[in-house]
Each structure stands twice: as structure tokens, then as C-alpha cells.
Structure 1
């Protein structure tokens, strides 16, 4: 599948501010970037640096004034997919070193607090079958509601409140997977089918020595997303991180099938 992307950001920076931007589709083997262009205003400083685990690029800006950013891209998706319920887990002692960080609790994913819950609810299942059951449980028990969470909401709050947005669904999926000794990470993506259209978030789980996409919201799927970047949770892969005052005027994300 080919995906067309258009993103427009309009923010004000009243004072000189350091900004870390990550909105471009990553150039990685599972997706081919056919065309891409980003318009940025003249900044006091500009630098590209690798994203988390060298997936995607981040852009450092030092900027003051009206920040208008327009990104357009076309991406062809060629991602490995499978019936996740049929996949086997990798025993922890056989996990590659780079996956170990995705077994551990992180800011929004306190997996150590979910051990007993996950065992009680899903202990009769293993590997991909357990992941599929947890994905379906989240879809059935958590309501997708725009504006129902904030930048401080973690997986525990989502589990208790039973509502959230895509990042909350991803955080809860990641937390439950890690509590099951299955590496899981957060992926910031552009997705076909996401309503309302915006930056989207999904989980990725490590099964049979491959990372597989899991979208617990049910809105998109592995072959219908373009990955921007990955991290332990949303804190690692925010589309815009500011070290100073930033005021949002508008934000538009459009993702369509090419």
C-alpha cells in the first residue's frame, strides 16, 4: 500500500526556544519513502540527529516567532505481517540485547504494577495468543474518547478510568506485554483509518524474533501505517518537544491512500 501524508503545524514561540521535532516518515526497510519534503522557517539553529534506536530523524531547532512547518510525503509499505495469535514468545534469556530495555517499566508504562493482574486475567495463554487476548481486552474495555487524557496520563490511569486516546491504548498494551515478559515498544505513526485524523500511536511487540505492530484501537493495521519513530513510551517519540513556552495555533494531519 502507498500512503500520502500532509502535516501542517502552526505554533508561536514568544522567546528564543529549543525545539525537538519528529514528524517525518522514517526511512527503514519495512517502508520505502518515495517522496518527502519539509518546509521550515529560517531558524537560529538547525540540526538533524538520529531518532531513538536510530529509527527516523529528529530535528533540533532554535527558534523565536511564528513557527510554521509543512511536511508532505508518500510512503510505500512493505511490512512483515502475521496472525499474531500464532506466534511464539522468545524466552527472556534468548532475547537480543537491544530488546531488553523494552522489557522494563518506563514513565508511562509501569509494567511492574501489572504482574498479578496480567497473570490472573491471561495466565492461561502464552506468546502471541496472550498478546492477541490483551489487545482484544483493551479494545472491548477501554473507550476511545478524544481529549479524555493529557500529557501526564499513564497506563495505570487508563486501566482505572477505561477511556483514552491512541497513546493511552498503546501504553496499556505495552504495559501488559512487558508484564508478560514480552518486549514491547511505542511507535509514533501515520495511519490510514484514524479518526479524527492526527498523529497516531501503536504498540510493537517482539515475537518470533520480529517486531509486530499491534493497534489496540482497531483503527489501523500494520500494512496501513507509516512509522515515524519508536521509543519506550510516548516521552521518547513526541512529535514536538519544547524547552520553553510554545503556543499552538493550529495543527493539521492528513493521511490518505495514494
Structure 2
């Protein structure tokens, strides 16, 4: 099955504005690309790209004063059926987690964990551990964001 993806984002900047974009499909899906999702700018601005520690393709640019439009279109070959979660919903203890997972448990500057932790426990603390709790969080985000 073919999946067409794309976006058009329009920004208005009062002055030259450095931007860091993470808008491309992850490199692990590159083999599925029929039409790559290259970033286009209007007006044209130079783009610099690099791959971060997680394999994301990051794009740097400086938006000129005025309106800047970012867009991309891509086509991917994807399986006809959606992914089905495995039946194992076990939630590992922190001690059982591999070292490379630990960085994902740290606070983030994008989410004020000290302010949101209490609310998160109130909303999700009653849910069963493991896959059920993750699904409850995903459903909440889907319905509220």
C-alpha cells in the first residue's frame, strides 16, 4: 500500500531567525521511500542537514524577515495492515532496563515534569501497569492535544 505524506508550514519572522527542523522521515524507513520527503522553502534559503544521536535528520536554516513557507511531499510503501501490539504488556522495573534506555527517563526542558508529575499520577495512577497505562496515556494525548 502506498502512503502519501506531506506538510506546508508558514512562518512570519520579524527578523532573521535561526531554525532547527526535525521534519523528515526517520532514516530507518528510507528503504520504504518511493518519493523522498525533501524540504522545500519559499523563498529559497540554504539548508544544512545532519543526523542526531537518535538517527533523526535535522535541518538547520535561518529564516529571512517576512513570510517563510516550508513544505515537503513524500510517498512510502507501507504494509497494508497496521501494527498489532504484542501480547506482552509487562512493565519492567528500572533496575531491569538496559543502560541505553536511561536517558529517556530524564526530565525534559519541553515538559515541566516537576509541575506535571502530580497531575499525571492523578490521571493515570489508577491504570494497570504496562501496555494498558501506555495506551491510556496515548489515548489521553490523542483526545486532548
Q: Same fold by TM (over 0.5)? A: yes
Partner Cα distance (2:99, 2:24) in 1: 27
More strand by share: 1
Give, in angstroms, the shift of residue 17 of structure 1.
Answer: 1.6
**1:93 corresponds to which of 92, 95, 106:** 95
RMSD: 3.4
Give, in angstroms, the shift of residue 72 of structure 1.
Answer: 0.6
CA contact (8 A) 2:124 2:137 kept: no
Give, in angstroms, the shift of residue 120 of structure 1.
Answer: 5.2
CA contact (8 A) 2:12 2:68 kept: yes
- In the alignment, does 2:14 pair up with 1:9? no
- In the alignment, does 2:130 pair up with 1:127? yes
Structure 2 partner of 1:46: 47
Give, in angstroms, the shift of residue 104 of structure 1.
Answer: 2.9
Partner Cα distance (1:116, 1:7) in 2: 35
- In the alignment, does 2:85 pair up with 1:82? yes
Partner Cα distance (1:81, 1:7) in 2: 27
Residues 19 and 105 of structure 1, relative CA distance in 2, 3 Å threshold: closer
**1:105-120, aligned counterparts within 5 Å?**
105-107=107-109, 108=111, 110=113, 112-113=117-118, 117=122
CA contact (8 A) 2:124 2:133 kept: no
Count of aligned pairs between the two proteins = 137
Residues 102 and 109 of structure 1, relative CA distance in 2, 3 Å threshold: farther
CA contact (8 A) 1:48 1:58 kept: yes
Structure 2 partner of 1:224: none
CA contact (8 A) 1:31 1:77 kept: no
Which structure would you say has the larger Rg?
2
Give, in angstroms, the shift of residue 83 of structure 1.
Answer: 4.3
Partner Cα distance (1:42, 1:63) in 2: 10
